Structure 1
């Protein structure tokens, strides 16, 4: 309808005939967020550059066939536990929980058939000054080995001229663990630009990061200080400036694939800022989560053709994934992912776009 800032259509169809819907939320100046119900995926995020020209800044596919054929987490909502759990097992309240090992010896991003592969339901659409869509998914007790029926509610909302807010909530009928995130792959020069993100300037508001072993599990002991390492992004630095240094942690991650430690007080605050030199686009990420996974697209290997038919290659995108620290179920010294009945899991992240000053 005229003046509406929200639209809905059918993006594709699952093999069993169920429709995959797409919801478009519009801001100002061409800003748009496009969400599909399969995996609660952020399928496109359109933001204007310094000249006012809008372009899509997240990797993915132009049609549903790509999302169905490839599990690459482009824009996906990841759960029940984002990132890795060592040896695909943990103990919760004295009970052993066994998961599928789908990343070497470890469990990754919810298992073999995580939330990114599920069809979510549209629970609410809201038009107006802050258009929004709310999606829901119920993960049954025992799904992928996780205990408890988990009811998840996720709201994407345009909360400013060029700002997208993501609120994730979950409740369980028995003790369980929860750790959700959005797994968008960003390239602020444009998803089909073919320009690597190594020239993007990155600031991460973190004094410490988690060093990892070669399977990407955090090492024993406390977090490592970023000072004097290639992981010091307290001042804006090009992602590629130190990525090829002879550093054990860069070798273990094949580049950046590490959690940066954020404040533990649960407040929504600036965690990262990214600036693209050519387009002038700037993205600020605010979150209330205790960690931010910074991943420099190390495993993009040219085997996947995405938007515009372009092959995605190493360093074609940057992931900034807010979540609880990896392997927390096995680390009592880490922030806890435990969710008790009667309590609510909450996660709030905001992506705010602008342009750099001339």
Structure 2
């Protein structure tokens, strides 16, 4: 890839390369770098994080997210690799919802539920992008306006996603949204992490520690039943660090239904909007550590159970089943069908906002 623009400063660099077009709109790949070697590659197709390079003490960098080399591979992708998911992440039973007394039918799968924003969600849209930099940070702001009734959602929704690299190897992801009619909003970032490197293989050997006291049991459609269950005594108890694969294939009804971890872990039952610790992920052999902090009330823990047994990723490397783990911070799934879940309704005059930080260090 040859850079078509480069804006050097004392602290960071921004490079922009043409990557193709979708529907007559130009797609760009942006490389944002801090002086210490922390880098993120973002495209305005799907607001996707294509690469995230973390510097190591020996002077090398490790790319810790799964991805593809070409735009066409992202267009063809069915696993939401690296994209922003919206308007509503995760599943809604039947897709039929009531929003301030009005019934709406959202886009629905053949299995009978709405998932990840519909048939063509935010991860398949072209966003407007603008880069920025300060003396200490560098980032990119991406903007998309979703039209009234797109995928069945009411209201013209304007969404902005902001990725910022900070000193100390911290990536912040911020979301903002406004609407002209009452609607639903529940955004997340769907990167698959592998702290041994994007081509490291199975993530079962990663240690995970969470701050979640509860989880959401699911139906056989992987939709929450409505119960908020304690993790104590279950395979979902990661309050003390343990290996992901320790119980991932345990004979437990919830794990059998989903083929492994694919569940929402609850940090707080009432949404406070406070930035709080969510999880810590460690790859013991490389000693890479990632801390996740969020203003969201929980996160979806997905261990890549539905990734293909083998497929080609970046640099022609082979990716595998459970080759990456997603820690998708957002509100509870299926919220419209459970009045005791924190609301995801956004009304005119309000602004949706959310933040998640991914921080990297030596374990």
Q: TM-score, normalised by structure 1?
A: 0.95
Residue aligning to 2:4: none
Alignment deviations for residues 58-90 of structure 1 (CA, whole Å, 9 cap, x no partner): 001012121122232111000000000101211
Contact 2:22 2:126 in 1 (8 A): no
For residue 39 of structure 1, report the CA deviation from its aligned partner.
0.4
Structure 2 Cα separation of the partners of residues 279 and 53 of structure 1: 12
Alignment deviations for residues 266-301 of structure 1 (CA, whole Å, 9 cap, x no partner): 100110000001111100000000121000000012
Structure 1 Cα separation of the partners of residues 153 and 332 of structure 2: 18
Residue aligning to 1:237: 242
State which drifts further: 330-339 or 67-76: 67-76
Structure 2 Cα separation of the partners of residues 123 and 114 of structure 1: 21
For residues 2-151 of structure 1, the aligned pairs below 5 Å read: 2-3=8-9, 5-49=12-56, 51-102=58-109, 104-151=111-158
Question: Which of 274, 277, 292 lines up with 2:299 in the alignment?
Answer: 292
* Count of residues in correspondence between the two structures: 354
SS of 1:228's partner is: coil
Which runs of 5 or more residues in structure 1 are unaligned? none
For residue 14 of structure 1, report the CA deviation from its aligned partner.
2.2
Question: Which of 209, 212, 223 lines up with 1:217 in the alignment?
Answer: 223
Residue aligning to 1:168: 175
Cα distance change, pair 217–2 in 1 and its aligned pair in 2 (3 A):
closer
For residue 231 of structure 1, report the CA deviation from its aligned partner.
0.5
Residue aligning to 2:258: 253
Q: TM-score, normalised by structure 2?
A: 0.94
SS of 1:202's partner is: strand
State which drifts further: 44-53 or 241-250: 44-53
For residue 19 of structure 1, report the CA deviation from its aligned partner.
1.5
Contact 1:176 1:339 in 2 (8 A): yes
Contact 1:28 1:161 in 2 (8 A): no
For residue 32 of structure 1, report the CA deviation from its aligned partner.
0.5
Residue aligning to 1:181: 188
Structure 2 Cα separation of the partners of residues 129 and 296 of structure 1: 34
Residue aligning to 1:198: 204
Contact 2:199 2:319 in 1 (8 A): no
For residues 150-165 of structure 1, the aligned pairs below 5 Å read: 150-165=157-172
Structure 1 Cα separation of the partners of residues 22 and 86 of structure 2: 23
